[in-house]
Amino acid sequence: MTYLTIRVPNWPSSALRRRGRRAAKSRWIYLVPATVFLGALAIFPLVQLARLSVSDVQVQNLNSDWPFVGVRNFIDGFSSGVLSQSLANTLVFVTIVTVVGLVGGIAAAVALRGTAKITGVLLAAMVFIWALPPVVNGSVWKFLLADDGLVNNVVNLAGLQSFPFLYDERYALISVAVVNAWAVIPFNTLVFRAAVLNVPVEQFEAAQLDGATPAQEFGNVILPALRPTTIVLAVLTIVYAFRSFDFVYVMTKGGPGTATQTLPYLSYQQAFVGYDFSAGAATAVVAVLFVLILAGVYARSVLKEESE
Amino acid sequence: MHFSSFVSRRSQTVLSFTALGVASALALAGCAPAGGADSDDNTITVWHYYSLDNQNAMLDQYKSEFEATNDGVTVENVYVPQDQLNSKLIAAVGSGTGPDVVVFDGYSATTLTSGGVLAAITDEWSGFDGADQIAEGAVTTVSGDVYSVQGYVNTLGLFYNKTILDELGIEPPTTVDQLEDGMAKATAAGHQGITLSGQPDVQGAFQAFPWLTEAGFDYAKPNADALSEGYARVRGWIDNGYLSAQAPTWDQNVPFAEFMNGNTAFAENGNWQLSSLESDATFDYGVVPLPVGTTGKVYLGGEAEGIGAFSKNPALAWKYLEETFLSKAGQLVALDQVGSLPTRADASADDSISADPYLSQFAEAIATQGAPFPDTIIPPENNEAVINANGQAWSAALGGQTSPDQAASDLIKVLEPLLQK
């Protein structure tokens, strides 16, 4: 019998501990650039925003002292109804974008889960749409939804009158929200599709053996598998929808009147059109608080999923 | 522990290039509009928001003429989009930079002054021999110091499609009832009645003012009834089909483009559109002052000019303004290229205005209906808030978001605290 001798290095345990500690210490140095970036580009502006929201800052004193006024900006915003109306508009907007975005994403993912060539073409087209700058997307849709635009031309062909997509105060917000949802669907589709493709083939085979209809297959095999993805994408879509400035700016400028004025758009209007920087900051802080709460929910649900 | 033991050589190269790319992108993103911090003694930068061809032609002519008469001097015209110019100027103050000459929307004069954007030009103005030619209303004075001057005035008039009016036997209206009759006839014959801007911002407010003052509104004694009557009248045009329901989404250029299609009888728009009418209209056209009666007014708009507070060449910048926007010859260039009306009395007396069938109408509108913009009664620090509230109320009433009565009372509620000193 031949024996294979293996030599194991005989390092003293204290040396091993010292080596581990040194490696641990030097690890933190690599965090410095990221911390500096985060601090300068995220934390410092947030601190300034909070300071602005509790001060009285107009054009005259933007570059000098900011007198402290406590929560007056928030009280003024809510008591005049301006902040509450924008908040209501934002919540409607977020609901539409999230629901349409998720439903559309799941539907497209289930429809495109095959590997035919047409699937690849469609997925590429969807990614193209998602990657288009919102300004371009919004401008194109503004033309499509105009009275003499393509959509209304089709409506007219069907014998109906032109539909006031963007200038009727009841429909303008819904129209902009649907366009925003349309731009979000491709991202959701890609993520959902990956989740669907991850479902083990055996489950589909078992379902077919049991004589399940496509609808039952969808309800009992696919949907449960998509649950964790749905939670994550729901929170991400909600957070994304809260930043609803670009489509509103390009398509309706907050109008007609204030019908499509969401929190980010109101903040822009107060700060950069009305030069009331503290009111704009207060509005932005309200939006940030909502997003923080939702981000907290996301973090908790991710941790819960990981521990399961 | 070495980095390369974690990551393959190829990925390292990719990562390094990516990091380099990100770093340079960040550095480039920090660049402000070009020409803001020039320390060359013989270059002056002019920030403006002109986007129409004729306006840029005027600016180019000023540049070439000034460079020709001032050896070795370069003028750099820098375009900034209109809705970003004011915030960029105010932001530049924070870093102690800015242009030499600023061409901005006249109604922002007091806002920019309080933001520290403009340099006081009191001494230069008192030493300027053309100062007595320019109307007082065109000069912005804050706390005794002069900060900006308007070299020309733009205002609104009623354009009409003469071909359509002749075909239907309509005369250019002199009262608002005649205007409504004309629009009714035009709509019945399958044309559009009128186009105007209903956008919820300064442009909408600019176009709303004639109809609100026609109904009797006055900032000295703000009255919800007059506002309500004005909103209801124009809302009625939408209900009757004279005016497109899309007006709340239109700025001032889209309604004019609609008028240029040749199927609209009237358009409420400005003299700055005259040269494009001249070159592109496929129909006969005319202009009359807006038929807004004895109380109706039109704002005297147009851009104002000033010197940047952080200009490195204030003397040269003032020389530029003296020889271009504020000189008689320069104001006639603006008249010729854009159709903008001079603020100098000697330039306004020019034959080309009284002989021109269109310019003379605008000159008459300025003389009989002109009102300062912004209204001098409004405390300067509240100008922006007042004009925005006006624009939003106009857009809400036209778009049906609120009834004319509700829009009027909402606006009065917002205006009352803003109008108190």
Chain A with chain B: Cβ pairs closer than 8 A: 100
Q: Taking the CB of residue A103, how many other CB atoms lie within 10 A of it?
A: 13
A140–chain B nearest CA distance, Å: 15
Rounded-to-integer distance, Cα B257 and Cα B277, Å: 10
Pick the range with the lowest mean pLDDT from A224-233, B77-86, B211-220.
A224-233
**What three-state secondary structure class fits B265?**
strand
What pLDDT is recorded for position B21? Answer: 57
Which of B73, B68, B60, B61 lies closest to B100, judged by CA? B73
Asked if the peptide bond before residue A264 counts as cis, ω within 30 degrees of 0, the response is no
Query: Over chain B, what is the mean pLDDT?
Result: 88
Percent of chain B residues past pLDDT 70, beyond the cut: 90
Taking the CA atoms of residue B337, residue B343, residue B346 and residue B351 in that order, the dihedral angle to the nearest 10 degrees is: 40
What pLDDT is recorded for position A128? Answer: 93
Rounded-to-integer distance, Cα B109 and Cα B86, Å: 10
Contacts of A169 in chain B (CB under 8 A): 396, 399-401
Rounded-to-integer distance, Cα A182 and Cα A240, Å: 13
**Pairing assessment for the beta strands B152-153 and B341-342 based on DSSP bridges:** antiparallel
In this predicted structure, the answer to whether residue A26 has a pLDDT above a threshold of 90 is no
Rounded-to-integer distance, Cα A248 and Cα B99, Å: 31
Q: Which of A63, A257, A272 sits opposite B392 (nearest CB)?
A: A257
Rounded-to-integer distance, Cα B281 and Cα B259, Å: 9
Task: Check: CB of residue B190 under 8 Å from CB of residue B323.
Answer: no
- H helical segments located in B102-201: 109-114, 122-126, 162-168, 176-188
Q: What is the DSSP letter of B32?
A: P
Asked if the peptide bond before residue A228 counts as cis, ω within 30 degrees of 0, the response is no
Rounded average pLDDT over B214-221 = 93
Rounded-to-integer distance, Cα B194 and Cα B175, Å: 15
The shares of helix, strand and coil residues in chain A, as percent rounded to the nearest 5, are 75, 0, 25
- H helical segments located in B175-273: 176-188, 202-214, 224-239, 253-258
Assigned token pair, A40: 């300068």
Confidence band of A21 (pLDDT split at 50, 70, 90): low
Residue of A nearest to B388 (CA): A274
Residue of A nearest to B401 (CA): A169
Which of A82, A203, A157 lies closest to B392, judged by CA? A82
What pLDDT is recorded for position A50? Answer: 94
Rounded-to-integer distance, Cα B421 and Cα B418, Å: 8
Task: Check: CB of residue A96 under 8 Å from CB of residue B127.
Answer: no
- CA-CA distances (angstroms) from residue A4 to A1, A7, A8, B175, B391? 10, 10, 13, 112, 90
Say which residues have a Cβ less than 8 Å from residue B151's Cβ, sequence separation at least 6: B303, B304, B305, B321, B324, B325, B326, B330, B331, B334, B342, B343
Percent of chain B residues past pLDDT 90, beyond the cut: 62
Model pTM score:
0.78
B376 CB within 8 Å of a chain A CB: no
B283 alpha-carbon distance from chain centroid: 27
Q: Which of B1, B111, B249 sits opposite A255 (nearest CB)?
A: B249
Contact B248 A255 (CB under 8 A): yes
Rounded-to-integer distance, Cα B321 and Cα B298, Å: 27
What are the pLDDT digits (tens) for B281-313? Answer: 999 999 999 999 999 999 989 999 999 999 999
Q: Taking the CA atoms of chain A, what radius of gyration do you get in angstroms? A: 26
Percent of chain A residues past pLDDT 90, beyond the cut: 47
What pLDDT is recorded for position B14? Answer: 62
A300–chain B nearest CA distance, Å: 31
**What three-state secondary structure class fits B267?**
strand
Percent of chain A residues past pLDDT 70, beyond the cut: 92
User: Sign (positive/negative) of CA torsion A219, A224, A225, A231?
Assistant: positive
- H helical segments located in B324-403: 328-338, 345-348, 351-355, 359-369, 383-399
Query: Which residue numbers of A have CB closer than 8 Å to B's CBs?
Result: 23, 58-60, 62-63, 146-147, 164, 166-169, 252-259, 269, 272-276
Q: Enumerate the β-bridge partners of residue A55.
A: A68
Residue of A nearest to B393 (CA): A257
- CA-CA distances (angstroms) from residue B145 to B103, B117, B158? 19, 14, 37
Residue of A nearest to B392 (CA): A257
What are the pLDDT digits (tens) for B346-373? Answer: 888 888 888 899 999 998 888 888 888 8
In this predicted structure, the answer to whether residue B192 has a pLDDT above a threshold of 90 is yes
Strand (E) or helix (H) holding A85: helix A82-111
Rounded-to-integer distance, Cα B51 and Cα B42, Å: 26
What are the pLDDT digits (tens) for A51-78? Answer: 999 999 988 888 888 999 989 999 998 9
Confidence band of B1 (pLDDT split at 50, 70, 90): very low
B249 CB within 8 Å of a chain A CB: yes
What pLDDT is recorded for position A19? Answer: 60
What pLDDT is recorded for position A22? Answer: 61
Q: Which of A146, A258, A275 sits opposite B384 (nearest CB)?
A: A275
In this predicted structure, the answer to whether residue A295 has a pLDDT above a threshold of 70 is yes
What are the pLDDT digits (tens) for B86-133? Answer: 989 998 998 899 999 999 998 889 889 988 999 999 999 999 999 998
What are the pLDDT digits (tens) for A211-224? Answer: 888 888 888 888 88
Contacts of B1 in chain A (CB under 8 A): 23
In this predicted structure, the answer to whether residue B265 has a pLDDT above a threshold of 60 is yes
Q: Measure the CA angle with vertex B299, ends B334 and B279; round to 5°.
A: 40
Highest mean pLDDT among A110-114, B199-203, B237-241: B237-241
**Pairing assessment for the beta strands B152-153 and B285-288 based on DSSP bridges:** unpaired
B202–chain A nearest CA distance, Å: 9
Q: Which of B87, B115, B399 sits opposite A256 (nearest CB)?
A: B399
What are the pLDDT digits (tens) for B19-64? Answer: 665 655 555 555 445 444 444 678 999 999 998 888 999 999 999 9
B252 CB within 8 Å of a chain A CB: no
Rounded average pLDDT over B75-82 = 94
Q: Which of A168, A169, A253 sits opposite B199 (nearest CB)?
A: A253
Contacts of A171 in chain B (CB under 8 A): none
What pLDDT is recorded for position A308? Answer: 67
Q: What is the DSSP letter of B416?
A: H
Residue of A nearest to B111 (CA): A59
Contact B245 A255 (CB under 8 A): no
Task: Check: CB of residue B249 under 8 Å from CB of residue B401.
Answer: no
Which of B193, B132, B198, B135 lies closest to B164, judged by CA? B193
Return the higher-pLDDT residue of A14 and A122.
A122
- CA-CA distances (angstroms) from residue A297 to A294, B46, B67? 5, 51, 63
Domains of chain B: 43-149+303-339 (3.40.190.10), 156-296+376-419 (3.40.190.10)
- CA-CA distances (angstroms) from residue A266 to A109, A262, B365? 35, 6, 36
In this predicted structure, the answer to whether residue B389 has a pLDDT above a threshold of 50 is yes
A87 alpha-carbon distance from chain centroid: 17
Rounded-to-integer distance, Cα A145 and Cα A149, Å: 5
What counts of helices (H) and strands (E) characterise chain A? 15, 0
- CA-CA distances (angstroms) from residue B353 to A286, B99, B291, B336? 55, 33, 21, 10
A1–chain B nearest CA distance, Å: 38
Say which residues have a Cβ less than 8 Å from residue B214's Cβ, sequence separation at least 6: B176, B230, B292, B293, B295, B296
Rounded-to-integer distance, Cα A84 and Cα A92, Å: 12
- CA-CA distances (angstroms) from residue A64 to A58, A67, A268, B93? 10, 10, 21, 11
Where does B212-313 show beta strands of DSSP type E?
Answer: 264-270, 285-288, 298-300, 303-307
Most A CBs within 10 Å, among B249, B382, B384, B410, to test the A interface: B249
Residue of B nearest to A276 (CA): B385
A66–chain B nearest CA distance, Å: 14
Strand (E) or helix (H) holding B77: strand B74-79
Task: Check: CB of residue B149 under 8 Å from CB of residue B326.
Answer: yes
**What three-state secondary structure class fits B304?**
strand
Domains of chain A: 82-307 (1.10.3720.10)
Q: Taking the CA atoms of chain B, what radius of gyration do you get in angstroms? A: 24
Rounded-to-integer distance, Cα B131 and Cα B154, Å: 20
Rounded average pLDDT over A136-147 = 92
Rounded-to-integer distance, Cα A166 and Cα A176, Å: 8
Contacts of A61 in chain B (CB under 8 A): none
Q: Which of B112, B201, B244 sits opposite A253 (nearest CB)?
A: B201
What pLDDT is recorded for position B37? Answer: 45
Say which residues have a Cβ less than 8 Å from residue A302's Cβ, sequence separation at least 6: A232
What pLDDT is recorded for position B34? Answer: 47
**What three-state secondary structure class fits B52?**
coil
